[in-house]
Structure 1
Amino acid sequence: MIYKTSSEDLTPYMLEGFFVGWPDPPSSETHLHLLKNSWKVIVAIDETNGKVVGFISAISDGVLTAYIPLLEVLPTYKNKGIGTELVRRMLAELSDIYMIDLCCDDDLIGFYKNFGMHKSNGMIVRNYEMQSGKR
């Protein structure tokens, strides 16, 4: 597995298959656009086929706050430590930031606690009609 901290050489073809289970997932082109517009990004690339098999992104003011909106590993690559490695590397990238936040489903709380994260309350709005990223 190759881990890269840049979206520079990625193509939509390399990003096929993500947003599993989303009713109206972003296209691979939109996925690439959101990675390029993220403050930090780390991708896991399968060396055998050149495809991205996992990614994590962060948005930040670059001073005090960062938010990790997305982490995903393709289903056939799950339970191989890729998600753990992506989070570990992202937290290292963000180590000089005061406040690192993310939202997750209840079944993922234990996963994130392994990194020293703490459960917190939060509020969200979801505009599901915008889920695909199409405008």
Structure 2
Amino acid sequence: MVYKNNVDDISPTMLNGFFVDWPNPPIPQTHLKLLKNSSKVVIAFDENTDEVVGFITAISDSVLSAYIPFLEVLPEHKNKGIGKELVKRMLQQLDDIYMIDLCCDDDLISYYKNFGMIKSNGMLVRNYEMQSGITMK
């Protein structure tokens, strides 16, 4: 497995199978756009299959705050330490930032506690009609 901090050599054809269980998942072209537009990214790339098998993104002001919106590993590559390595590498990239926030489901709290994160409260808005990243109006 190769870990990259950029998407320079990534094409939409390398981004299949993500956003599992999303009713309106982004298409690979939209997925690539969100990776490119992120402040920081770490990609897990399988050179044998020429595909991305996991990714993590951060959005940051590069001064005090960062938010980690996405961590995903393809289902067939889970439980191999890829997600752990992605989080570790992202936190290293953000080690000069005061606050790093992440929202997750309750069943993932213990996973993120392993990285020294603490549980907090949060508020959010979800516009599910925009989940695919494509305006449906």
Root-mean-square deviation (CA, aligned residues, Å) is 0.4
Q: Which residue of 1 aligns with 2:81?
A: 81
Q: Which residue of 1 aligns with 2:90?
A: 90
Deviation above 2 Å: which 4+ runs of structure 1? none
In the TM superposition, 1:89-128 aligns within 5 A as 89-128=89-128
Match of 2:13, as an amino acid?
Y
Unaligned runs of 5+ in 1: none
Return the alpha-carbon distance in structure 2 between the equivalents of residues 28 and 16 of structure 1. 6
Return the alpha-carbon distance in structure 2 between the equivalents of residues 21 and 120 of structure 1. 26
SS state at 2:100 partner: strand
Return the alpha-carbon distance in structure 2 between the equivalents of residues 47 and 36 of structure 1. 20
SS state at 1:53 partner: strand
Match of 1:104, as an amino acid?
C
Is structure 2 residue 57 aligned with structure 1 residue 57? Answer: yes
Calculate the TM-score normalised by the size of structure 2: 0.98
Q: Which residue of 2 aligns with 1:129?
A: 129
Calculate the TM-score normalised by the size of structure 1: 0.99
Is structure 2 residue 9 aligned with structure 1 residue 9? Answer: yes
SS state at 2:108 partner: helix
Is structure 2 residue 41 aligned with structure 1 residue 41? Answer: yes
Percent identity of paired positions between Structure 1 and Structure 2:
70
Deviation at 1:17, TM superposition (A): 0.7
Deviation at 1:50, TM superposition (A): 1.1
Aligned length: 135
Return the alpha-carbon distance in structure 1 between the equivalents of residues 126 and 63 of structure 2. 27
Return the alpha-carbon distance in structure 1 between the equivalents of residues 10 and 61 of structure 2. 24
Deviation at 1:47, TM superposition (A): 1.7
Deviation at 1:24, TM superposition (A): 0.4
Return the alpha-carbon distance in structure 1 between the equivalents of residues 67 and 124 of structure 2. 13
Return the alpha-carbon distance in structure 2 between the equivalents of residues 7 and 61 of structure 1. 20
Return the alpha-carbon distance in structure 2 between the equivalents of residues 20 and 91 of structure 1. 24
